[in-house]
Structure 1
């Protein structure tokens, strides 16, 4: 009876979407922010561990043609596809007797692998007073992508104390291996670029509930 009392149930799948802000770090002096949407389908191994397929559609931008030393400025209308796994602290600790630990249980960290599809839709190739000319640049390219993720997931429980809806606050720092992110070709330049993505999202759980070894719902918090 004790073991049964500590058992809880959760939906093994969820589908979700989110919106957020991107900032690219591709070597330009001026950093600018753009926007992106994400769509995801998730398999929850436990209520606190998930493997996800995520798609991103948005923009990456940077530079200032009038004020930067090398007159760079670009806009990348990108797509990305990622496979990643996230583990929440609730998987690793006992939070049943602590309101503080119960609050920490939804903090998560994760990583994965993906592909960044670059499409340069705007780029400056000539400097002020024709001082600089870029004759070679990428219009379309793709890069291997490695995300490092952290975030917090608010769980909203249904009347059976199952986490049905999940509100997600996420920050990911993404490493793109290649030069295509900003479009500028430079044989002597760095072959690794970066971008960050801060997003808010919602997920809805579905599927036949699975049992979990301990209670997920904590009424005192």
Structure 2
């Protein structure tokens, strides 16, 4: 009986241990991609965004971290916009982001399909965006006679700071190192950034005249790379 009990206990321990994996608690990464603006200006345009991230891994599939962005957001056209508005914003931003991956919620060990999609995630954050207009139509063309000497001046600021809320949807593709640890990630991400204020396009025109009703927004579609490092912690599932 004693030998049988010991064998059962040993077998359970082996099964439990085999169902665990180790992971690194920290990661950093970078990425680039195009963005598109959706502001009070009639038509947005394509710009670019570069970013860097530093994440703390509560688990392999739950993270909280910092993201910094630098890029160019633009929109409008002095010739085709109904109000002759046009802007280029060389912006920077810093946000705190939390992400939850599908692997935290599902049992993917017995399904190849679920295993392959465990890196799908959603996330939410908050932070600050620093807007700096490198080019903007501040005076409406051909209004000098009515608004001397330079014409009608569009309200707004060339430099400003606003609160920004990023919403993330994406996918992490995990790559193991030579020791079997998840060490690298290739990341695909779509991010909608909602700003609170009128600084993203540099215009703060009257709502009743310019139909200025919704928060300014820009979306980023990026490809990135991440590297895991730091202390190792065990996780209840295999990775």
SS for the counterpart of 2:216 is: strand
Structure 2 counterparts to residues 29-40 of structure 1, below 5 A: 29-40=42-53
Determine whether 1:100 maps to 2:113: yes
SS for the counterpart of 1:61 is: strand
Structure 2 counterparts to residues 121-136 of structure 1, below 5 A: 121-130=134-143, 133-136=152-155
The number of equivalent residue pairs is 216
Give 4+ residue runs of structure 1 displaced > 2 Å after superposition. 125-137, 187-191
Say what the alpha-carbon RMSD is for the aligned residues: 1.4
Q: Confirm or deny: 8 A CA contact 1:151 1:170 kept in the other structure.
A: yes
SS for the counterpart of 2:36 is: strand
After TM superposition, give the deviation of residue 8 of structure 1 in Å. 0.4
Structure 2 counterparts to residues 132-211 of structure 1, below 5 A: 133-188=152-207, 189-190=212-213, 192-211=215-234
Q: Confirm or deny: 8 A CA contact 2:40 2:203 kept in the other structure.
A: no
Residues of 1 paired with 2:154 and 2:178: CA distance? 63
Q: Could you list the runs of 5+ residues in structure 1 that have no partner in the other structure?
A: 217-221
For 1:123-173, what per-residue CA distance to the aligned partner results, in whole angstroms no more than 9, with x for missing partners?
A: 013444348722432011111111111000011101232110111100010
Residues of 1 paired with 2:155 and 2:105: CA distance? 50
Determine whether 1:68 maps to 2:87: no
Residues of 2 paired with 1:49 and 1:162: CA distance? 17
Q: Confirm or deny: 8 A CA contact 1:179 1:190 kept in the other structure.
A: no
Determine whether 1:111 maps to 2:134: no
SS for the counterpart of 1:102 is: helix
Greater per-residue helix proportion: 2
Q: Confirm or deny: 8 A CA contact 1:178 1:191 kept in the other structure.
A: no
Q: Confirm or deny: 8 A CA contact 2:139 2:154 kept in the other structure.
A: no
TM-score (norm 2): 0.86
TM-score (norm 1): 0.93
Determine whether 1:21 maps to 2:34: yes
Which has more radius of gyration? 2
